[in-house]
Structure 1
């Protein structure tokens, strides 16, 4: 694609990055075939190719409009188009640049600004946890639309306290500890079962994805720097202790963001090298499965314990299969442990419609995608639906009575049941 960026953008880092991405696009349109919003709306400007043209026009001097902003807002950032693209167009990075430029030039209506501010500040606030607990206490009295956003309170169980020679950092996250603390606790237990101690840095907070995708990129970069500062004593310890082996992510939406720290902070002289080191150390929990499986299989034996759901439908989050390019690992590992795992027979590559705050900001499109995804998943007649990102889990659960959980929770349940069975067996 030929470009003629204005002098305002041509010499800037964002402009140069955008131009390099734009020049790789060959207009083939393969991306539209796998774009969820294009499939729903049938509008070229609500598909990747159309959005690329809109961003190109703005960088070449066209004045963006409210319509431009809305077409970019309606993108889920699922990056399915990147998986499909034969030319390797980094659409996600281009969209980040385009949204930033348009946001600076197109004012939003006051109500929309207020909602986005509440999402940015509220979900990352220390007050979110107490607010969520209050919501859980009065959950049955809440309106249906709000009740769907408040998962029932669940006991996370005990956190393993035995020191281990192997240690890995884990990002607790901003909303996950309050909404589903069972995921972090289950992660700590299954890692402990393989001889790995899970360490949480107290000062680490939101990964930055929430602010970044709400166009508060300055605030997001500050959150990234704060996390790097919190993790650095474990990465480069000065007390003589061994450095952590990895930074484990059990929310694929956080994982794809932290893996991008090196790119996001590449122009920051004080943090560029550290950010890249953090990105290089970051692993989705599923990437550890080949090394974890032998220890788990030894504990489980030949068969799963009674009472553990065996028939699972697996929804791979977009941030895992498209953002991190990790496919097949979870379902293969679960099958090796004895679970019967099925992907949706139709459209397993498509987004469920959660996409961070998308389900709040674009509820109609989000609900359509959720219901479409659930139809395909429930056709497999699962006992439990599993995924790998809290956003997908809570969004899917709001549309079905079938339990929706993180896959690590069902593994933890199986290991816990096997340990209980062993301890109860007669000597």
Structure 2
């Protein structure tokens, strides 16, 4: 695609990167065929090709309007288009650059700005989020239906985790909202890893991965969170931790990008590259282990399973099919899920900032997951899990909890 960046755009730190991505697009339109928002809305500007043109106009100095911002906001950042693209266009990188530039040029309405600022200051802080969640549960009967759907019922307290007792050690990223929304997920991961001879330790100084800030246009705030995590994890890495294991695929996708996002940082570039190289989704660890020690399964454990593969697992981390393979190795039957490549509508904070589109995508996904009449539905990301459960239909849990429950029953 022929591109002529404006003099102003050429001053941007990532101008050359943006120009290279724009030039790599051959505007074939294959991306629209797998874009969830294009399928729902049928508008060229709500598909990847149209959004690329919008970003091109912004970087070439054309006027930026609220309409430009709306069409970029509607993107889920699911990266399905990248999986489809025959030219290897790094669409998500271009989108991040374009969104940040538009954010600088267009003032949002007060209501939108307050919502996005609230998400940035509540979601990444586990204690603040936990307090907000408790307050929401108390006030739930008084809240609008759309808000009530997003407040899950309290979950049982997490069971005790095993003490670190193995020579093999990994660092486990707790996440921001998972400890409150699904407190047993990380504990289940630690117990399963313990059965495999791997001790999971938590570095309390590590916090939010930074994705929440970064994808809401606050790039430097997101990168600062990445730097703090690198500092927090570095002593454990130097002490021989073999991996940084992340049960939530959304967090894992972003941590794996630390090396790229901080590659020009003289203080953190090399460390960020090392952290990204050590980052593993939980399924990558289990897939590499002999699972015969985990093969026992109690009779009443659900057998027929529908798995929702999050976009951050299949499109960002390129691990589509990995969880399904592990579950099959452990004796579970996987049902077919139509359009499994499509986003469920969670997409980080998207279900809050774009509730109508998110609801339509969620209902379509639940229809597909329930079509095979599974005994249970599982996923690999807390955002997807919470969003799907907001539909009030068949409960959804993290796949590691299913595995751990089976082991507990069989032990």
**Smaller-chain TM-score bracket:** over 0.9
Aligned to 1:414: 406
Q: Distance between the aligned counterparts of 2:42 and 2:295, measured in 1? A: 49
Aligned to 1:179: 181
1:418 shift after superposition: 1.1
Aligned to 1:402: 394
Aligned to 1:123: 123
Aligned to 1:324: 317
Higher deviation after alignment, 127-136 or 43-52: 127-136
Aligned to 1:240: none
Q: Conserved in 2, the CA contact under 8 Å of 1:289 and 1:329?
A: no
Q: Distance between the aligned counterparts of 1:393 and 1:206, measured in 2? A: 18
Q: Distance between the aligned counterparts of 1:279 and 1:75, measured in 2? A: 25
Q: Conserved in 1, the CA contact under 8 Å of 2:164 and 2:201?
A: no
TM-score normalised by structure 2 residue count: 0.96
Aligned to 1:365: 357
1:332 shift after superposition: 1.3
1:336 shift after superposition: 1.4
Count of aligned residue pairs for this structure pair: 409
TM-score normalised by structure 1 residue count: 0.93
Q: Distance between the aligned counterparts of 2:401 and 2:137, measured in 1? A: 20
- 1:279 aligns with one of 276, 280, 290: 276
- 1:385 aligns with one of 362, 377, 380: 377
Q: Distance between the aligned counterparts of 1:199 and 1:256, measured in 2? A: 20
Aligned to 1:267: 264
In the TM superposition, what are the counterparts of 1:1-400 in structure 2 within 5 Å? 1-10=1-10, 12-125=12-125, 126-136=127-137, 144-153=145-154, 154-237=156-239, 243-294=240-291, 297-301=292-296, 304-344=297-337, 346-400=338-392
* Secondary structure of residue in 2 paired with 1:168: strand
What root-mean-square deviation, in Å, do the aligned CA atoms of Structure 1 and Structure 2 show?
A: 1.4
1:162 shift after superposition: 4.3
Q: Conserved in 2, the CA contact under 8 Å of 1:383 and 1:403?
A: no
Change (3 A) 1:141 1:164: farther
Q: Per-residue displacement from partner, 1:75-99 (whole Å, max 9, x unpaired)? A: 0000000000000000000000000
Change (3 A) 1:143 1:46: closer
Q: Per-residue displacement from partner, 1:156-179 (whole Å, max 9, x unpaired)? A: 111111411110011101111111
Change (3 A) 1:140 1:385: farther
Q: Distance between the aligned counterparts of 2:214 and 2:260, measured in 1? A: 13
1:291 shift after superposition: 2.7
1:147 shift after superposition: 3.1
1:134 shift after superposition: 4.3
Q: Per-residue displacement from partner, 1:349-404 (whole Å, max 9, x unpaired)? A: 00000001100110000000000111111101011111000000011111143120
Q: Conserved in 2, the CA contact under 8 Å of 1:208 and 1:257?
A: yes
Gaps of at least 5 residues in structure 1 are 238-242, 420-427
Q: Distance between the aligned counterparts of 1:231 and 1:260, measured in 2? A: 16
Q: Per-residue displacement from partner, 1:25-60 (whole Å, max 9, x unpaired)? A: 001000000000000111000000000000011111
1:299 shift after superposition: 4.3
1:11 shift after superposition: 5.1
Gaps of at least 5 residues in structure 2 are none
Q: Conserved in 1, the CA contact under 8 Å of 2:294 and 2:330?
A: no
Q: Distance between the aligned counterparts of 2:317 and 2:294, measured in 1? A: 30
Q: Conserved in 2, the CA contact under 8 Å of 1:151 and 1:180?
A: no
Q: Per-residue displacement from partner, 1:2-22 (whole Å, max 9, x unpaired)? A: 111112223543110001111
* Secondary structure of residue in 2 paired with 1:392: helix
1:144 shift after superposition: 3.9
